[in-house]
Structures are given as structure tokens and as C-alpha cells.
Chains A and B, each alone.
Chain A
Amino acid sequence: MSASRARDAVAESVRRCCGVAAVALRAAVRTRMVAALLVLLAACVTGLPRVLKGDGTPSGELDILLRYTLGFSFGLLCLATLWAACALFAVEIASQRMHLAAVKPVRAAEFWLGKWLALLALGAALLTAVYGGVYAQVRVRAWRAGWSAEQRPAGRRVARPLLPSIAEEARETYALMRQRGELPPGLGPGAALRVLAEQAEERYEVLNPGDEVVWKFRLARPPRADEPLLVRLRFDTEYSTREQVAGLCRLWLADRPERVAEVALADFTLNEIVFAVDMRALVNGGAAAGRDVRLAFRHQGDPARASALMMRFRKDVAVLTPGGSFEANLARSALAQLGVLALLAALGLTLSVCFSPPVAAFCATVLLVLALVSGTVVGAVRETGEEGAWMRVGLRIARLVHDVAGQATREEPLESLTRGELIEGRALLAVWLWNGALAPVVLAVFGCGVLRRRELAAGD
């Protein structure tokens, strides 16, 4: 009996949520908000690739289509979602339409959830339209220009060199500096470790002509003879002497060091080199026994004329293995971005419960700008321990906003998509756990609390 009652209660709750969501969706469609957004997005998806000029290479075209077009469309969707969410409760309360709904037996959470789901559904539909438009353009361009299999976008797994973790490296450097008495006097251990970690992440290693470096990689699965590995190297070097730079790459399996695949690199005019390694030279049919591979790079430029190469090993060196199709990666990217929209919708709704429409929109915009600016502030200002009190407070706030916003945008799906890197399922799950579940729940609890407590009617 109690189980059937619980089922009925859940069914009623679902109906209430669906009712609220349906009205919010109808409002969006019938007030022509969706139509206006569709026109804007269509102009963006079709217009931007015509306006922006690439470098003529397939990767340049993909860069424009995937990074800029999708990025700009996503930015538009973010703003639209945030502002629409800011209006949903606030307008209903201000126009007294909420009176009729609030006297019905609806929980605050059901109102909140219904509206959030409506925004999510709308975001999903618009994102699908945008991604569909971009995908069609990628297919048409690939077909027209006859891109090769390697040039076509894909979703490849990325293996990075096995190096000590950033935290570990920061701790070691900290211990060394403390031993030598090189630590700035006003900087506490926490701040010092944070600064050292940031430096470690961005630190460039210098490869002079004649130098050689060997990296260890652990692939997701043993390499196969019929699947070539892609190696990607990014570097910085002096522009005027790039033509003098040359290098030799060698790749071998850790358990079979006697068989080495060599690739000579002579063209360093772009600051990124991607090349395929035929694995038939290393694997005798089927799959290799182990997952570990080694990659060596020797700078073979003329010591008298060539400049050194500068590389951030953690970011600039990668071995790419087949992971999935471009279509699946595109879908994952869309899902990751939908997660961000879910978070923005939750933020807007909660602000909408607390403030009037213009105040909610203003607060949302300020928060958004703060989130965008905080990264620049945190990146530009290095703590030395000699800052004044105000500066320290400002930095702390900027760091807090940056950390919270960083959680939301930790995964950069468009970056992965453009580089042909597989967006891992675990990363997607993490995005949704934070953006689609944890943060919205926290915001919803706060918003529902306010909605329950605030007086919806004004005095006559």
C-alpha cells in the first residue's frame, strides 16, 4: 500500500515537473526566443566559416569550423541560457503569474526542476542544431577537398609522457628552495607550492642542437600492427632559424627495444608536427604484448646556425592511438557543453528566484565576467608574499572564482575536438557530475529555500 502510494506520489511529482517544463518550453517557442536564437545561430554556423580565413590546410579549416564556429555558437547559447534562466522565475513573480501557480500543491523543487529541465531541453535542441550544421560542413569540405584518412577528423586517445606529477615536482622544488633559502620571505607554504605547481605546468625545457630526450608512454591498449600511431610534437623556437632545425624521432616498444621505427623531421616551419608511425615495423601482426612505448627525439640542427627548441613536455608531446569516430567525439563534445549550459541554467534560475529580472540578469553577467577575468588575473599576477592586504584579498577572490569556474570548464571539449583527441568518458562523467549534478543541486537547494521563504505577493 505504501509502495503504491509512493509510486503515485512520484508520478504526480513527475506530472507537475513536466507541466512546468512544458509551459516554459512553450513560452520560449511562442515568444519567438527560439526563432531569434535559431536565426542567430544559423548566421553564426554558416557565416563565420565564410568570414574567417584559415591557413588552407585541413587542420586550419577544422580549426575554424570546430573551434571558432562551435565556440562562438556555444558562447551565444551560454548567454541566452543564462539570461533566459534569469527571467524564468523573476518575470513570473513580477507579473504576478506566480500567484496562481504558487497556491497549487507544487513543491519549490518541482518548479525549479521543471524550469531547469525545460532550459536543458531547449539547450540540447539548439546545440544539436548547431553541431548538425557544423558536422554537415565538415563532411562537405572533406568530400570536396578529398581529405586523406589522417587529415579527416577523428577521436584519438592521447597518451602523454610519464613524468612525475605536478604536485610532486612542486614539492621537490619547494624542498630544494627551502634548503637553499631561496623562498620569498612573505610567501606561505601553500601559496609557494601553488606558484611552483603553476610554474611546473608551464615550464619550458630547452633542447639544444645535439640534445636528445627520451619519453616513456603507456598507451590505453597494446598497439596493433594495422593501426599506425600518430606522434604530435609542439615546440617554440626562434622564427628566423626554423629552417635550420632538423630532428630524428625514434619509437620502440618497451619490451622489444631492438626494433625501432625512425622518422626524420625536417620541416619545422609550423610550430606543430604530427606524423604517423607504421607499427608493422614494430609489431608482428595482431597486437603487441605490452602497452609501454618509448619515444626519443634528437635535435639534429646545425649547432652553429640552428636555435634551441623549447618544449613543455607535459603538454607538447603526445602519442595518439585510435579511439573512436569523429561523430562520437562530436556527440561527447556536445554533451560536455550541454553540461555547462546545465550549470548556467541552474545559476540563472537561482538568481531569478532571488532578484527581479534586471537585477538577476545583471548579477549573472557580472559573475560571468568575473569568471572570465579571474583566469587572466590569476595567470598574470604571481604571488611574491609582498602584496598589500587589499591585493591579497583581491587575489584570493579571483582565485576562488577561478577555481570554481575552472571546475565548470575543466574539460575543453572544443580543444580536444579540434585536435582530434578523444573526449574520454571519465572526463565527460566528471563534467556532468559537477556541472550537471553537484553544482545545480547546491544552487537548487539554495534557490528552493529562497522560493519557499520569500513572499510572492506584494502589499496592496
Chain B
Amino acid sequence: MGRCGLGGQPVIETQGLCKTFRDFWRRPTVAAVRGLDLTVTAGEVFGLLGPNGSGKSTTIKMALGLLRPTAGTIRLFGFGPTDRRAKARVGYLPEVTHLHPFLTPRETLVYYASLFGLPLGEARRRAEELLEMVDLKGAAGRPVGRFSKGMARRVGLAQALVNAPDLLVLDEPTSGLDPVGCCEVKELIRLLASSGVTVLMTSHLLADMEDVCDRVAVLARGELRASGRTAELLRQPGVTRFLVDGLGAGEAESLRAELEARAGRPVCCDVPAVRLETFFMQVVSREGSARAFEVAPFLRAARQAREESGA
């Protein structure tokens, strides 16, 4: 996937990152992350994969300054994770969206915008654009506490974008969303990444990661087990697949027999199926449930500014 990024500069760098949790008496209980070396470069979508307790969320929390590393270093844009210059460029969507339940989505977004020091007018403008983007304009006056998990997730996503971040950290971004919402979020991630935003995300849904991530790292028991470009990691060496449109059953069978005779090995021939997600989206878009995704104008402006500065 080609990205118009910031020239491949490292956005997140970890070296020998370790995190050991301790009990009240300072005795070590769990080594959540062990000697993690990672580099996430500008403009890429980087996925952290791993089973429960593998250290994905702990790594993210250390990157955001919510946890302190036991050993090793972590740098964001060349700064420490608690440096305000780094924080000003980061958007974060946690695994569970804990929002103020008594605030409306509009107030929530204005509040988080104010934490970036934005003037009230600008904060309100961005809030409106983001509400439009995440399709919550109709529910903008209701308290977030009465929202479904999916709706709260959308508000969480909107707040992560309120500062037009250069780095978006998404912990299980599609958790709690319906398939349409999942697709929209993935589309948004792709759009943001194409505009130069670096994305670090975790997910249990491997298909989601496969769809959007340029690179992935697989963690298990706090250790890095594999990392690399998604396409390269998933390639099956020594296997070739032909896709031909419009062949009849007889023609296909004769071609298969021909190939088998030439290769001297069994050849598999089948009718490829679309993925269930694609099928679902085709159905709901026919019924008008899906909508074209519109990125908020201020995010487009930020993209333009990034492209100009990149140029």
C-alpha cells in the first residue's frame, strides 16, 4: 500500500522495552513486555497482534505515557511519551471507551478539543464536522451514557481525531461495532493513512488487521515473535494461483488436467468465493444501510497541510 507519509521517519521507536507489574510490596507479579524492539515509521499502518495477555495494550499504554517502562526506552516523534509536544500530535482510542456519561457527544468533543488548547469556536466547528463524519449528528444532544457500545465507540473515535493527529493509536478499534461500522472504521483508517497519518492499532480480528495493516508485529507472552510487511508474511512461497474470468466448467476441467499433466503434481481448481464481509456490505448497501464515508473537512485540510509540508 503506498502512502504519502512523512518520508519514513520513525514515529514510534522502542528499544529493549520491558514492563513488569508489581504487587503492593513491590514484588514482581507479571512480566507483561520483555525486551521489545519496534519501529513504526511515518505514514504506515502498524498492527500489533497477539493473544490475550501478550502485552499489546501494555505496549500501547507505555507509548502513551499511561504506564512507565520498567526498562528500555520508548520515543514518540523523538520525544518521551509524556512530553507534551508528542502528546499534541497523538490521537488515542482505548480498548473500552470510557467517556463522561453525562456529556453529550458534542460536549465531549468540545471538551477534548479544549484539552488541546483549541479556541472554543474552532473546537465547536471540529466537533460538528466529526459528528457528521461518524454519523452521530442526530444523537448529538443525548448523553453519551445512554448510547449503545457502538455509538460510544464512534464518539471515542471522533475524540481521537479532534486534534487532526499525526499518530493515531487504536486499541481494538472495531470492538463493539457492527459490520457496517467496522467497514467504515477500516475505510477511515485507510483514508487517514493515505493522508500521511501513522496508525498503530491492535485487534483480535485478524481479518481486520490483514485488511488495513501495512506491517504487523506478533507478540506472545510479552515477546516479539514475528514482524514484517503483512503481504510478505502471508505469502505462501511455492504456490501459484491463476484467476480466470468467464471459464465454463468443461473448459476449467480440461485446463486443470492439462496443468496437472505438465506439472506432474495435483492441481486444485475451484470457484473463488467473496469474503462474507464483502457479501454483507454488498447486501446492506443495496438496502441503503451503508453510506459513503466522508472525512471531516478539517482532517482533509490537515492532510493537505501534511502533503504540502511533505512536498
Show the binding face of A for B, using Cβ within 8 Å: 11-13, 15-16, 18-20, 22-23, 26-27, 30-31, 95-97, 99-107, 452, 455-457, 459-460
Contacts and interface: CB of A to CB of B under 8 A. Distances in A.
Contacts of B143: 30
Contacts of B85: 105
Contact of B65 (A11, A22, A102): A102
A196 B115 CA distance: 56
B136 interface: no
Contacts of B98: 95-97, 99-100
A103 B159 CA distance: 12
A266 to B, nearest CB: 65
* Chain A residues touching B, majority SS: helix
Contacts, number: 94
Interface stretch (B2-10, B100-108, B187-195): B100-108
A284 B98 CA distance: 76
Nearest to B22: A459
B57 interface: yes
B102 A105 contact: no
B111 A23 contact: yes
A26 B67 contact: no
A30 B146 CA distance: 14
A20 B100 CA distance: 12
Contacts of B52: 460
Nearest to A459: B21
A103 B64 CA distance: 6
A27 B117 CA distance: 21
Given A15-B119, A26-B107, A102 B66 contact: yes
29 contacts: A12-B117, A15-B119, A23-B103, A26-B100, A26-B103, A26-B107, A27-B102, A31-B102, A96-B98, A97-B99, A99-B98, A100-B92, A100-B98, A100-B99, A100-B159, A102-B66, A103-B90, A103-B92, A104-B116, A104-B163, A105-B85, A105-B115, A452-B82, A455-B66, A455-B67, A457-B67, A459-B30, A459-B58, A460-B32
Contacts of A107: 84
A19 B111 contact: yes
Contact of B117 (A15, A97, A455, A457): A15
A333 to B, nearest CB: 34
B117 A103 contact: no
Given A16-B115, A95-B98, A107-B84, 18 more contacts: A18-B114, A19-B110, A19-B111, A23-B111, A26-B102, A31-B102, A97-B98, A99-B94, A100-B159, A101-B115, A105-B85, A105-B88, A105-B115, A452-B82, A455-B66, A455-B67, A457-B61, A457-B67
B65 A103 contact: yes
Contacts of A103: 64-66, 87, 90, 92
Interface string B133-150: 000000000010000000
B257 interface: no
Nearest to A12: B117
A15 B67 contact: no
Given A97-B100, A460-B58, A106 B115 contact: yes
Contacts of A104: 87, 112, 115-116, 163
Given A30-B102, A460-B57, A16 B94 contact: no
A13 B92 CA distance: 21
Contacts of B100: 23, 26-27, 97
Contacts of B102: 26-27, 30-31
B69 to A, nearest CB: 11
